[in-house]
Each structure stands twice: as structure tokens, then as C-alpha cells.
Amino acid sequence: MSRGGRTGGRGRGAALAVGPLVFLALFFAWPLTLVLSRGLGVDGALLAPLRDVLTDPYLQQVARFTLGQALASTLLTLLVGMPVAAVLSTLDFRGRRVIEAATIVPFVLPTVVVGTAFVALLGRLAPVVDLRQTTLAILLAHVFFNVSVVVRTVGGLWRHLDAAPVLAARTLGATRLRAFLHVTLPRLRPAIGAAAAVVFLFTFTSFGVVLILGGPGRSTLEVEIHRATSQLLDLRTAAALSVLQLLAVVATLGVYDRTRRRHAARPLARAALSLRPAAGPRDRMAIAGMLGLLMLVQGLPLLALLERSLRVGDGWGLAHFRSLGAPTREAVMSVAPAVAVRNSLLFALAATLIAMVVGTSAALAAVGGSRAGRLMDGALMLPLGTSAVTLGLGLLLAFRTGAFAGRGAILLVPLAQALVAVPFVVRTMLPVLRGIDRRLREAAATLGAAPRRVWREIDLPIVSRAGLVAAGFAFAVTVGEFGATIFVARASNPTVPVAIHRALGLPGAVNLGRAMALSVLLALITGATVLLIDRIRVGAVGRF
């Protein structure tokens, strides 16, 4: 390609970067700056709010519990996820791909759905052992969520490891356990470290699960930020807690980036070489044990949720689902739950559209090679590492007045959700765009094709399927988003996660039944979207 062509590509890349950078500056950087200024203090009182938080005995206990439950959740998730990853990454058997795809569904389920599922499960277990509002309930819910992180991250490397060193160790007399401990495990450490960092990040910033399942003395920083904002109207303390949490998030992201780069530097073998056909009773026992573990950790809560949504009094039926069409005197909302379903779908579609426009432009700019595009490639990942509650608080501070106040506040919901979805779009589209052979573009340009025709005839057919996957991910993430939405959604326009949370907060069989029914509907929508993504993706495109 000529020098002028490269310059023109960089120019187009810089132009495409303008929109995403403006979006990031207006709806992420500015709100986050307001949170930081409130949390760090201004006008001669620098660090005063943060100092007050660090010296408050109650908030010290909250910080200790936040750190402790995140560490315990990470360790427990690794203990559960590693055996599952071992079976799925080394044995080839019928249904393996279906099981592997199914493990990702709990990860993308809305937090309020998972919290409601464990409310149903622990309620059934209460006559035997009452685990409601306990630390163990929170840990189990976090394992339910994050097993797929270990399976996909560790398993993704495991299945690409060269099997020759293991075979050599076995030939020299090493047992399976010794070969694993001395040959396989050292090579898996970068992936284990990356998975642990991601799980720690998600559990440290956990909100919906702790809000629903936590009891007295089991509040996290995320929950306290919400409490200080919505109940105490103490934005100063909420901002200071957000700063404290951001520091921990930045440190965790640094660990993750370091382990990810070590992971990427390893030479890998083809996946097919590391899989061997399952044969013999030992392999069948391993598969059965893996299925039993997944059923216990991920299957039982969902079955309990479904069972509770169908239980009406002493019998069974669809009364809770039929009651979603209209509000009743016993209901928690002034609008019918069906309206909340409609709101969630409309907000998610709008957020998906915004995320696709911003994310695709960002990916194209990054591929163009401009400095702005390269800068934005990393910058657009920042919202994914920032807690949703902090994002919601920042948007609340930034847009209390002006065009987004009053009736315009409804626009903040899809914008807040799009912030969370954009990184998924970028990470899905960028590898595909970078994988397009540049020589095809150069040949078309040499034959006289205009840039628009080159894009239409060469790029578009290749990226269209990746675009569907990206849109599916964005929709699955936004339809159940809760942490930021609860700050910016108005009472007259609730989404399904907000409606579930409100219903669980009030007594009465009608409210509880509707919460269970709404959770089942939201789980079905999210799960169906994720399974559809797995069917339409090509190769590694769209793989978690």
C-alpha cells in the first residue's frame, strides 16, 4: 500500500475515533472525575473524605468483609472450577461442547436473578440448615457466577498445551497426579492467575448478590455506596468509598494485565491434539463427577428458582406468571410487571444500538493504526473494570441538572448500560477486523474499487457475523444490568432487575411470587441469547 494510502487510513481511523472518545469523555471520564473530586476532597480539604472513611470503625469492618469475601470466593471458585476445566479440556466426549456452552450462561445472568435463585434454594433448605443471610450464601452465589471464568480462562490454555511433556513424564514412570503437579500445573499458572484476578475483581465489586443475600454485618463497599446515596443521601461518603474501591480495582487490573501478557507469550499447540477420546471407567467417573459438580453448584439454584415460581400456595400453577400483566393492591409497583419487561427490552435494544455504533467505530479506529485509535482501544476497557455502582453514582452527580434531568433522565438508562456493553463489542469486533487479509483490500483498491466498495464487498461479509455476536453479547449484558440502572432508572420506568429487587424487599406472597416469575423470564431471555451466540459464532469469535 502506498504511503498516501496508509496516511489516509490513519486519517480515517482518527476520524472514527472522535465519536467513541467523546462518548467516553462525556459519560465515563466526566462522571468519574466528579466521583473522584467528591471522594478526595477539594478547597483545602484534600483527602479529608477518604481519611474519614478509613478511620470509621463501621466502614473499616465493611472494607475487611469486602476483601475477605472476595478472597474466599476466589479460592472456592478455583477449587470448583479447576476439576471442571480439567475434564472439559482433556477429554473428548459426546455433549462436551453443549456442556461447555451451558457453563457460560450463569456468568451472564443478572445478579438479581442469581440472588433470587439462591433465596428460593436456601428457603427450601431452611428446615434442614438455614443458610439465609449468611456469608456462605454469598460465597456460593459467587461460585455459581464465576465457575465459567475459571473453565474458560484456564481451560482455554489447557486444551492448547502440548501433550508431549506429559506423555514423556508418564513414560518415565510419573503418576497422573505427579505429572499434573510438576508438568501441567506450572504451565497453567499464568491462566490460573488471570482467572483468579478476574474472579476477585467481580466478587470484590459484587453488588446485587450481596444486596439480596447479605444480612447485618455483611455489607460490601458496593452496597455501602448504594446505601449512602439512596438512603442516607451522603454523596461525600459514597464518593470516598468509590475512590477506595477504584484503587483496589486498578491494582487488580494491573495483576490481570501482567498475567494475561504472560499467558499470551506461551507457545501453544492445536486444541485437537490435547483432547483424547474418553474411554474406560476412570474417564466415565471423571465426566460423571464433573456433571454432578456443575449440577450441584449451578443447576440446583436455577431449578429451585423455577420450582418456586410455579408454586402457588400448596399447589402448582402459572398464577405468578399470569399476574405479571397487571398491578394489584398487594404489588410493590404502581405499574404492571409486564411494563418492566417492556422497559428492559426497549432499554436493552437502545443500549445495544449505542454500544454497537460506539464499539464498532472504536474497533475500526484501532485497526486504522491512528494514535487516537490505539489510545481508545485501551480506554474503552476502563468501564469494564469500574464498578457499575460507581458508574451509576457518577452519572447521577453529572446529570442531576440540564438536558438529562426531569423527563430526560430516562435517556441515562441506555447510556449507562451501553457503557458496560461497549467493551464486549470492541473485544468481539477487533480480532475479526485485524484478521482480514490486507492484501484483499490492496488488490481491490488497485483494480479501482472505491473505499466504500472495498468495505462493502470485502470487510462487511467477514465482520457481519461477528457483529451479530457482538450485538448478542451487548443485549445479554444490558438487559439484566442492575448496579448502574438502579441509580438512574425512575420509579415510573423500572426495569426487570429493579422490579425484582423492589419486590423482594417487601413481604407478601404476591410480591415474592412475581419476583420469582420475573427472574425466570429474565433468565430465559439471557440464557437464550447466550446459547444463540454460541451457535452463530465462528471459531474463537465471540468466545468468552
User: Based on the structure, what is the number of domains in the chain?
Assistant: 2
Q: Cβ of 129: how many Cβ atoms within 10 Å?
A: 9
In this prediction, residue 366 carries a pLDDT of: 77
Enter the C-alpha cell of residue 306.
Answer: 423455577
Q: Say if residue 423 is in the same domain as residue 357.
A: yes
Q: Say if residue 289 is in the same domain as residue 325.
A: no
Q: Say if residue 218 is in the same domain as residue 275.
A: yes
Q: Say if residue 200 is in the same domain as residue 258.
A: yes
The answer to whether position 194 is within a domain reads yes
Residue 483 is classified by DSSP as: T
Phi and psi dihedrals of 312, rounded to 5? -125, 105
Q: Which residue among 281, 311, 341 closes a domain?
A: 311
Question: Residue 283 is part of a domain; what is its CATH number?
Answer: 1.10.3720.10
**Distance between CA atoms of residues 499 and 444, nearest Å:** 53
Question: Using CA atoms in the order 100, 102, 107, 112, what is the torsion angle rounded to 10 degrees?
Answer: -170
Provide CB contacts within 8 A for 161, sequence distance 6+.
184, 187, 188, 268, 269, 274
Q: Say if residue 267 is in the same domain as residue 325.
A: no
Residue with cell 461447555: 100
Enter the C-alpha cell of residue 169.
Answer: 513424564
Domain that includes residue 219, residue range: 56-311
The answer to whether position 416 is within a domain reads yes
Q: Say if residue 203 is in the same domain as residue 234.
A: yes
Q: Say if residue 132 is in the same domain as residue 241.
A: yes
Phi and psi dihedrals of 316, rounded to 5? -130, 155
**Distance between CA atoms of residues 473 and 468, nearest Å:** 9
Q: Say if residue 347 is in the same domain as residue 332.
A: yes
- Comparing CA positions, the residue from 263, 111, 257 lying closest to residue 197 is 257
Instruction: Split the chain (544 residues) into runs of 10 and give each run's mean pLDDT.
Output: 47 70 87 78 62 83 91 94 89 84 81 87 75 84 91 82 79 82 84 87 87 82 82 77 80 72 54 67 89 91 90 83 67 68 91 92 73 61 73 81 66 88 83 71 72 72 79 88 81 83 77 86 86 65 47
Length of the chain: 544
The answer to whether position 48 is within a domain reads no
The answer to whether position 51 is within a domain reads no
User: Strand pairing of 311-312 and 276-277?
Assistant: unpaired
Q: Say if residue 326 is in the same domain as residue 301.
A: no
User: Strand pairing of 311-312 and 315-316?
Assistant: antiparallel
Q: Say if residue 347 is in the same domain as residue 288.
A: no
In this prediction, residue 441 carries a pLDDT of: 67
Which pTM was predicted? 0.79
Q: Say if residue 301 is in the same domain as residue 387.
A: no
The answer to whether position 50 is within a domain reads no
In this prediction, residue 355 carries a pLDDT of: 93
The answer to whether position 43 is within a domain reads no
The answer to whether position 96 is within a domain reads yes
Q: Which residue among 287, 311, 335 closes a domain?
A: 311
Exposure string over 511-524, b if 16+ CB within 10 A, otherwise e: bbbbbbbbbbbbbe
The answer to whether position 42 is within a domain reads no
Q: Which residue among 311, 345, 376 closes a domain?
A: 311
Q: Say if residue 328 is in the same domain as residue 399.
A: yes
- Cα of first residue to Cα of last residue in the chain, in angstroms, is 34
